[in-house]
Structures are given as structure tokens and as C-alpha cells.
Amino acid sequence: MNDVFYKISPLAFHWETQDPFLFCVHHKDNYPKGNIDQGPAASLEGRQLGQDFDEDRAWRMYHGRKVPGFPEHPHRGFETVTVVLDGTVDHFDSSGASGRYSNGDVQWMTAGSGLQHSEMFPLVHEDKLNPLHLFQIWLNLPQKNKFVKPHYKMLWHEEIPKITQVDENGNEIEILLIAGTFSDQKAVAPPPDSWAFDDNNHMKIWLVKMAPHAKLTLHEDSTTLNRSLYLYRGKTLTINDMVLPANHSAQIKPNKTLVLKNGPETCEWLLLQGEPIGEPVVSYGPFVMNTESEIQDAYNDYRRTRFGGWPWSSSDPVNKRDSGRFASYSDGTMHLPPEKP
């Protein structure tokens, strides 16, 4: 196409990614005030409850019938990285773990050999609107780690490095470092079985906000990695004199130093990069394996074991409205956000 981009694509609900990533989903919902059940204090008439994905509406229930979100469902063979910019997510899983995270927090979950979990979006405010804005990134696991023990890790927003730079013209750039490095800064360590755990895989998950006309230079990491950039807010972003339009993604050639220049409005973009795993990928629904027979095995195992069953009283549990943020793990340990100084 040119000497910078392999491909440019418009953004939709599911964002196309490159190996080692599987895809990225962008949720942006302007939820109304909450009711006593932490669901929407608004009519659900006319919605296809259980399958409410209408992108023309201001907000969706997804698979939820009372509270928006994704009730009990299984996974095997990959990881989910859930980045919450605004709103609240309640997590429950088949190992007995649970949690609540919100407003800048990131949950990194290794599905590994298989587990069930639910991801509900409780509308915790009864007196004001409940906007939700999040990304869920599916990251593949190499074959050797497909059957590791499932677990999840919380990256509280107080612990995620937020780097502020000012360019030569005084324009500000903010980089939220979810995975990888920037200059001499390093992200919080991902789960140990993740492809991102090995620095040689040059993994980066960044959220970047650039003031109008700001300029940022990114240097080459590797000539063999895959790198994609998703411009989800702003007018345009110029990358080495090639223009990326608003609400588009670009697959960017790796062997380049990139000079990114923002247009006339504040822009925000997501960067996903990493060395490819380079193995066959066979996916069907919630399972991602290397062969068709492994997919069939996953379904058979799930039917037989339900990946440990479901210890919760409903398929769509939520925490108490005032529970605050927390992570409770299957071994009984708790992980709370750091206290404010």
C-alpha cells in the first residue's frame, strides 16, 4: 500500500487485530440511571433481551436481561485484557473468584485450560447517568500454555504507569502503559503464562491521548513484530506523512521509526503490538486452540465438567452497590486498590 501502512480499516464493534492478538471489542454505552437491581431505570421494551447488540441504540443490554453484560460463559486457550475507561464491571468465575473494577482499572485474565466467568456492567448510580467505556482485547496463548491453570490479575489504575510528555511546541501527550515499555518506564508485570510476560516478544498495549497538533516519535522495536493502531477519537492522525482518518485502524509496518502528528482536535488511540506466536489458530465461539480436534475436545470437556461448575446463585451475579473495588481470588486472598496517600 505504501511504506508505512499494510492496511487501513474503518472501526466497528469488533476491531480486527494481528497475531498474537485475536480481536478487540469496543464497548461505549450511555447507560441511564440505575434501578434497585443495578439495571437500567428505563424501559426494555422492544429490545431483543439476551441478544441486544443494536449499535444504533445509545446503550445495549448485550446478553443481560436485568443488568447489562455477559452472564456465565466459558473460555479456553487464550487471555482477555479488559480495559475500563469509564463505568463498572463485576467479575465472577467458576473457581470461586470475584471482583469489581472500574474507571481506569484493567483485568488481565488467563483462561488457560478452561473456566467460566461472568462480566456484568452494574449501573451503580441511581441519581445520575452510568456511562460505560471499555475495551476487551483477546490475546492468544501459545500451544505450550493453552492448558495452564486459569487465573486473573487486577491492574488497579493507581498502579498503571501514566506517562506525560510535552513536545517541542508545548503540546501534551499522555500514555497509559498497560503492557510493555515506553522510554525507561515499564508496565506492571502481566500474568506469568502470558505471551506478554517475555520481554523478547516486544508486547505493547498502550492508550494514548494527544493534545491538538501534538507530535510523538516511536522508535523501531523489531523488524518482525505486528503493530496496529486504532484511532477512536479525533479528526486525523498523520503517521510519517500518511493520514489515518478518524475511526480507522492501521496495520503499521514494523521496521520504521514513526512520527505521529495529531490534527486540530484532541485524539485518543490504542496501540497493540507484539511478536507473532506463529502457530495455527482454530477458534469457535469461546474456545481458541490449534486444531479442530482440540476445539471438539474443549466442547466435550465443558459438557462433562463445566470447567468446575458454577458456584454462584445466578448466571448474572453482581456485587452490592456500595461494595467498592476489590479482587477476591479462589484461594481466599483479597487484592484491594492501593490506599490514597
Pairwise CA distance, residues 322 & 216, whole Å: 41
How far apart are alpha carbons 305 and 205 in whole angstroms?
Answer: 34
pLDDT class for 221, splitting at 50, 70, 90?
Answer: confident
SS3 191: coil
Q: Quick one: pLDDT band at residue 1, thresholds 50, 70, 90? A: low
Which 8-state DSSP code applies to residue 239? Answer: E
Say what the pLDDT of residue 3 is: 80
pLDDT of residue 6: 82
The DSSP bridge pattern shows strands 204-210 and 172-179 to be antiparallel
In the chain, what is the straight-line distance between the N-terminal and C-terminal CA atoms, in Å?
51
Q: What is the mean pLDDT of the chain?
A: 96
Using CA atoms, how far residue 128 sits from 43, 83, 110, 146, 310, in Å, is 17, 23, 34, 43, 33
Question: 225 near 254, Cβ under 8 Å?
Answer: yes
- Residues of the chain above pLDDT 70, percent: 99
Q: Residue range 116-122: average pLDDT?
A: 98
Instruction: Pick the range with the lowest mean pLDDT from 4-18, 75-89, 117-131.
Output: 4-18
Contact 28, 132 (CB under 8 A): yes
Whether the CB-CB separation of 187 and 181 falls below 8 Å is answered with: yes
pLDDT in tens, 210-219: 999 999 999 8
Q: What's the pLDDT at 51?
A: 97
Q: What is the DSSP letter of 304?
A: H
Nine-digit cell string for 225: 513484530
Bridge-based pairing of strands 88-93 and 98-102 is antiparallel
- Reference 315, options 142, 13, 74; nearest CA is 74
| 134 within 8 A of 106, measured Cβ to Cβ | no
Which stretch of 198-202, 208-212, 219-223, 270-274 has the lowest confidence by average pLDDT? 219-223
pLDDT tens column, 265-321? 999 999 999 999 999 999 999 999 999 999 999 999 999 999 999 999 999 999 999
pLDDT band at 341 (very low <50, low <70, confident <90, very high): low
Closest CA to 5 of 242, 210, 231: 242
The pTM of this model reads 0.96
- Per-residue pLDDT tens digits for 29-60: 999 999 999 999 999 999 999 999 999 999 99
- pLDDT number for residue 228: 97
Strand order in 236-239's β-sheet? 215-218, 258-262, 236-239, 242-245
For residue 161, give every residue at least 6 positions away whose Cβ sits within 8 Å of its Cβ, in sequence order, or none: 176, 177, 182, 185, 186, 187, 188
